[in-house]
Amino acid sequence: MYSLGINAAFHDSAACLVADGRIVAAVEEERLTGIKHGKRPVPFSAYELPFHAIDACLAAAGIELADVDRVGYSFDPEILTGSLSGHESIVLPLEPSAPGNQKSGETPWEQLFVAHIVNAPRHLRSGFPHHLQKRFLGVADDPGYVWRFLSHHLCHAASAFLPSPFEEAAVMTLDGRGERATTGYWLGSGMKLEAVDQVDFPNSLGMLYERVTEHLGFLHSSDEYKVMALASFGEPTYAARLRELVHRTSGGQYVVRPLPLAEWFGPARQRGEPFEQCHFDLAQSVQIVLEEVALGLASWLQEETGSRQLCLAGGVALNCVMNSAIRDAGIFDDIWVQPAAGDAGTALGAALLLDAEGGSRSRAPMDDAYLGPEFSPNEIECVLRHAKLRYERPPDLIKPVVEALCRDEVVGWFQGRMEFGPRALGARSILASPLHAEMQARLNEIKDREDFRPVAPAVLEEEMEDWFAPQGPSPFMLFVHDVLPDRADRIPAVRHVDGTARIQTVRRDQNPLYHDLLSAFAARTGVPVLVNTSFNTQGKPIVCMPRDALECFFSSPLDVLAMGPFLIRKEWV
Ligand SMILES: [Fe+2]
C-alpha cells in the first residue's frame, strides 16, 4: 500500500512516499526546481503542488500516481472555513484579482488559498507539468486513490513521533501557524497520537521570531537561523520589555502581543547595512524569551503527559539552541527532533498518518535523513562526459580526498541519496579541515555568507565524547554541544563565539563512506572532525543533481569535487 504525502501550503513544498511502514522517498521541491523553499513569489503560483518532488518519489518506487492508494495534503481548509462539501472543485483563476476588482473582504491571498489548497486534488490530477506526464497519466478521470486533507500541526506531530525511536512520547509542535494552531501538544503511543491541547493564532512563537528576523533585515520563514547565530554576540538587554508582551499564561497557553519594534529600535535594518549592537541585543533577547517560554511549555507538557520522552517538530524546532536548552533542563530523559522539522516534514507526517490509517502496524524509524534522489556512477559519468570535463576514478576515493583536506583544500562531496530537510549531512556537503581558524572565514566567503555565521562539525559518533559535551548522538545537527576546552585549539574553525558547535555525529551504519572519510582524516591528523556545510551558494537550494553540483563547483572557489566514485580538480580545467 502506497501513501503519498504532500506539503504546499506555505513554503518548503515537498512530497513523501511511504509503503507499509517504510519511508520510500522524501524530497523537497526546491532541490529539483532551484527555487528556494519551493515558493514562487505571489502573485504567480505560491501554492503550486510539488510536482517534481512527487515525480521523484514515484520514480524511487518505480510506480505511477495511479498506483498510489492514499494521498494526504498537510493542510485542512475545513479547519479554517468550515465544511467545504460541494465545493471541492471550485475553479478560480490562478492569479489574484486585480486591485479594485475584489469583493468586499476578499484579498488576493484568499483567492490563491481557494485555487491552490481547496483545488489541490484537481490540480494533482490534471495540473502537472507536461514533462512529468509519464508518471501522472491514468488518474485524470478516476484518481484511483483516496484524497485526504490533514491538519497541518497533526502532520508536524506525526513527523516528530512516528519516525522517532520512542514507543511512547510527549509531542510538541511549534511553528508560525497552521490553519489556526501555532503550537500543538500530543501524547504519542504506538501508532497513535492523542491531542492534548493547542495554541491558536495570533499567539505564535514562530511568528514572533519571524517578525524579529524581518526587522533585522533577513528573510522571514527562511533566515531565522541567522538570528540565532547573531544572538551569541548580544546581551539580553531587551528581554524584560519582550517578556511584557510575550509570556506564558496558564497550562500550555501563552500570549504574543504585537511588538512595537519600530518604536523601540527605529526603522528595520535594511539588507546589507552594518549590524549595530542593538541588533545583536535584540537577537539575544528574543532567543532568551523564546527559550524561556518553550521551556515552560515543555515542562507543563511533561507533567500533563507523564512521559519522559519528547518529540519536537515545526519550524521553531530547527532552533538548535532552544532544543539544547530543553535538553539541558533535564525535563525529559531523551528528545528526538524531526530533521525536516520545517514544513517539508509535514509531507512525511501526512504520508505516515495515511499509512497508519491504512492499517500499517510498523513504525518507520529514521536513523538517517538520506531519503532523496540518488545517481548511479553511470549517470554521473554521462554528465561529466557531456560537459567534456577531465575527471579521474581513483581506486580508493577516500585517499585523495583526505590529502586534499589536509592541504586545506575545500571539497564538494556528492554521494548517495540526498538529505531530506534543511541540513546537509554528508550526502550533499562542502567539507573542509577544521584545524585552522581561517577556514570559517574562507567557507563563509565561498558561500557568500555573513561573517558571523558559524560552520558546523561532523564527528565520528564513537569519538564525540572526547571532543564535545554533553555526550550522546546528534545525527541531524539539531542541538549544540560545548567544545571541550582542552580540544578547542585543535578545531578552531568549528567553534562558535560562545564556545559551542552544532555537531553532526556519524555512525558507520548511517553513512559508511562518510564515516570512512572521517576515520581516514582522523588517522592522518588525530582529529575525527571535519567541517560540514551545505553544498550550495547563497540564495540557492542545496544541490541535488550532478549538473547542479558542477554548476556550484565551477561558480565558486571550491578546489575538489568528489561526485560518486569520480574526482574532479579545479586546476584540471
Ligand atoms: Fe508548519
Q: Domain segments of the chain: what residues?
A: 2-153+348-357, 164-337, 377-572
Ligand 1 centroid–CA 315 distance in Å is 6
Nine-digit cell string for 360? 500499517
Tell me the percentage of the chain whose pLDDT exceeds 70. 92
Ligand 1 centroid–CA 371 distance in Å is 20
Ligand 1 centroid–CA 18 distance in Å is 20
User: Which amino acid is present at 414?
Assistant: F
Q: What is the b/e burial string over 263-285, where b = at least 16 CB atoms within 10 angstroms of the residue's CB?
A: eebeebbeeeeebeebbbbbbbb
Alpha helices in 306-343 (DSSP H): 320-329
The pLDDT of residue 264 is 86
Q: Are 389 and 573 in contact (CB under 8 A)?
A: yes
CB atoms within 10 A of CB 504: 27
- Does pLDDT of 64 surpass 60? yes
Ligand 1 centroid–CA 153 distance in Å is 7
2-153+348-357 and 164-337 have identical folds? yes
What is the arrangement of strands in the sheet containing 70-73, beginning at the earlier edge strand? 22-28, 14-19, 2-7, 70-73, 146-149
- Cα 35 to Cα 45, 93, 124, 329, distances in angstroms: 12, 23, 20, 39
The pLDDT of residue 91 is 44
More confident: 200 or 99: 200
d(CA 522, CA 267): 49
What residues have CB less than 8 Å from 410, skipping those under 6 apart? 430, 431, 432, 442, 443, 446, 557, 558, 559, 560
Ligand 1 centroid–CA 572 distance in Å is 45
Ligand 1 centroid–CA 198 distance in Å is 14
Ligand 1 centroid–CA 104 distance in Å is 29
Of residues 232, 434, 471, the one with CA closest to residue 482:
471
- Does pLDDT of 82 surpass 70? no
**Which segment of 184-198, 260-274, 407-421 scores lowest on mean pLDDT?**
260-274
The pLDDT of residue 453 is 76
Ligand 1 centroid–CA 312 distance in Å is 12
DSSP assignment letter at 94: S
Average pLDDT (539-562) is 95
**Which segment of 41-45, 285-289, 487-491 scores lowest on mean pLDDT?**
41-45
Ligand 1 centroid–CA 177 distance in Å is 6
Write out the H or E segment, with its range, that includes residue 123: helix 120-126
The pLDDT of residue 101 is 46
Largest Cα separation within the chain, whole Å, is 70
Ligand 1 centroid–CA 6 distance in Å is 13
DSSP-assigned beta bridge partners for residue 195: 186
- Does pLDDT of 175 surpass 60? yes
| DSSP 3-state of 448 | coil
Ligand 1 centroid–CA 174 distance in Å is 8
The pLDDT of residue 392 is 97
Ligand 1 centroid–CA 344 distance in Å is 8
Four-residue CA torsion sign, 99, 105, 110, 111: negative
- Architecture of the domain delimited by 164-337: 2-Layer Sandwich (3.30)
Write out the H or E segment, with its range, that includes residue 306: none
Q: What is the mean pLDDT of the chain?
A: 90
Ligand 1 centroid–CA 175 distance in Å is 5
Ligand 1 centroid–CA 379 distance in Å is 35
- Does pLDDT of 102 surpass 50? no
In total, the chain counts a number of residues equal to 573
- Does pLDDT of 92 surpass 80? no
Ligand 1 centroid–CA 262 distance in Å is 27
d(CA 449, CA 429): 16
Of residues 41, 40, 58, 36, the one with CA closest to residue 49:
40
Instruction: Tell the CATH topology of 377-572.
Output: DHBP synthase (3.90.870)
**Which segment of 115-124, 146-155, 228-237 scores lowest on mean pLDDT?**
115-124
Ligand 1 centroid–CA 307 distance in Å is 24
Ligand 1 centroid–CA 510 distance in Å is 27
Ligand 1 centroid–CA 113 distance in Å is 16
Ligand 1 centroid–CA 230 distance in Å is 24
What residues have CB less than 8 Å from 54, skipping those under 6 apart? 4, 6, 15, 65, 124
Ligand 1 centroid–CA 441 distance in Å is 33
Ranked by mean pLDDT, which of 48-57, 84-93, 451-460, 515-524 comes out on top?
Answer: 515-524
**Which segment of 32-41, 316-325, 497-506 scores lowest on mean pLDDT?**
32-41
d(CA 400, CA 150): 49
**DSSP sequence for 257-299:** PPP-HHHHH-SPPPTTSPP-HHHHHHHHHHHHHHHHHHHHHHH
The pLDDT of residue 43 is 47
Ligand 1 centroid–CA 562 distance in Å is 35
**Which segment of 85-94, 249-258, 408-417, 492-501 scores lowest on mean pLDDT?**
85-94
Ligand 1 centroid–CA 342 distance in Å is 6
Ligand 1 centroid–CA 209 distance in Å is 14
Tell me the percentage of the chain whose pLDDT exceeds 90. 70
Average pLDDT (479-486) is 96
CATH classification of 2-153+348-357, choosing from 3.40.50.1820, 3.30.565.10, 3.30.420.40, 3.30.1330.40? 3.30.420.40
User: pTM to 2 decimals?
Assistant: 0.93
Average pLDDT (9-13) is 86
**Which segment of 86-100, 165-179, 426-440, 546-560 scores lowest on mean pLDDT?**
86-100
